[in-house]
Amino acid sequence: MGIEPSKGRVLELPKATKEEIKAISRVVSAIMAARVMSFEKIYAAAVGSMEGYGLEDKSNLGKGSIAQWKAAKFYRWIVENHLALGCQIAPEVFDPSLLTRWSDLVRTKAIYGCFTHRIVGALGLTERSSKQPIAELPIRSTDQFYFELVSNLDGMAIALEQSNGQIYPFSLHENQVSLTLPVKVGSQFVPRLPGTDNAPDLLSDTDDQGLRCYYILIATPELIEECSKGLSEGHPISAEKLDQIALAFNEAKPGSFELHRLNVVFTA
């Protein structure tokens, strides 16, 4: 089924009926089978954490009796990550017009495994599955961490952070202010300590718990500067601006940009 991105963003079911929730459950079951994901892992990805999880949730979803807010979370996650499958299995609930240009860019272009997090003192490394991976190593509120990026391009980059349904600019520049930063071919740590070639500057985060998504967009300086106009750290990026960024990247020459994604859970 061909899917065209829409200009708007209609992601939440206002009040799902029992039959609509059952349709959502059919899609969740298909994702579990196709991606070899447990229901618990899908719940964590959809809700952002295991908050509110109950042992009866899987059964209640199948019966159409799960809490409305949980149904809306599953719905939104499917729209953002598995809309094509949703349209195929439950067209009465999922429509191709729900896809935004940004969602389509992430769905078709995101690279996993080349932008990873490292925790000071941790022995394990992040692991990933074949699709929509969530890093096995969570970040605790007491951890100090940094990121490692492996790029196939020289250019400029901008980082974005998605939390609680909103996407924000995220400065990884050594000056902690600039939203754009230069990158080179190969492995590099971000952020870097000022005045060093590639020594990591450590991060810590004691704010919201749950799932966060990080994006690194790499392209020519001109394209990155254009896309960063109007962005301000701490202020969410509008759906319109995200779609403008996606359109600019889709119009760029193939092979001239990269979009890296990392999904990681923050815990207490």
pLDDT, position 62: 96
**Banded pLDDT at 14 (limits 50, 70, 90):** low
Residue 6, domain member (yes or no): no
Residues 78 and 189 in one domain: no
Q: pLDDT-derived band of residue 116, with 50, 70 and 90 as boundaries? A: very high
Domain span at residue 192 reads: 105-267
Tell me: do 92 and 127 sit in the same domain.
Answer: no
Of 35, 67, 99, the last residue of a domain is 99
Residues 26 and 70 in one domain: yes
Stretch among 8-22, 110-124, 149-163 having the lowest mean pLDDT? 8-22
Residues 57 and 117 occupy one common structural domain: no
Tokens 């949703």, residue located: 86
Please write the tens of the pLDDT for every residue from 77-94: 898 788 889 999 999 999
Same-domain pairing of 63 and 131: no
- Are residue 77 and residue 151 in the same domain, yes or no? no
CA–CA distances in Å: residue 36 to residues 28, 129, 196, 234: 11, 9, 43, 36
| Residue 172 in this model has a pLDDT that exceeds 80 | yes
Query: How far is the CA of 5 from the CAs of 14, 65, 68, 98, 125, in angstroms?
Result: 21, 31, 26, 7, 36
Chain segment 40-53, per-residue pLDDT in tens: 999 988 888 888 99
The residue with tokens 């349209």 is 87
Give the per-residue pLDDT at 3.
44
Same domain, 170 and 123: yes
Residue 241 vs residues 169, 212, 237, 252: alpha-carbon distances, Å: 12, 20, 6, 17
User: Is the pLDDT at 123 greater than 70, yes or no?
Assistant: no
**Is residue 5 included in any domain, yes or no?**
no
Mind giving me the DSSP string for 148-215? EEEESS-EEEEEEEEETTEEEE---STTSS-SEEEE-SEEEEESB-TT-SSPBPPB---S--EEEEEE
Tell me if 93 is assigned to some domain.
yes
Domain count, the chain: 2
- Work out whether strand 258-267 and strand 110-112 pair parallel, antiparallel, or are unpaired: parallel
What pLDDT shows up at residue 122? 60
Nearest to 69 by CA among 80, 54, 84, 83: 54
pLDDT digits (tens, 9 = 90+) for 104-113: 899 899 999 9
Mean of per-residue pLDDT scores for the chain: 86
Same domain, 252 and 120: yes
- The confidence score (pLDDT) of residue 124 equals 44
Q: 70 by DSSP, 3-state: which?
A: helix
Q: Per the domain annotation, does 12 fall within a domain?
A: no
> Which position has the higher pLDDT, 151 or 10?
151
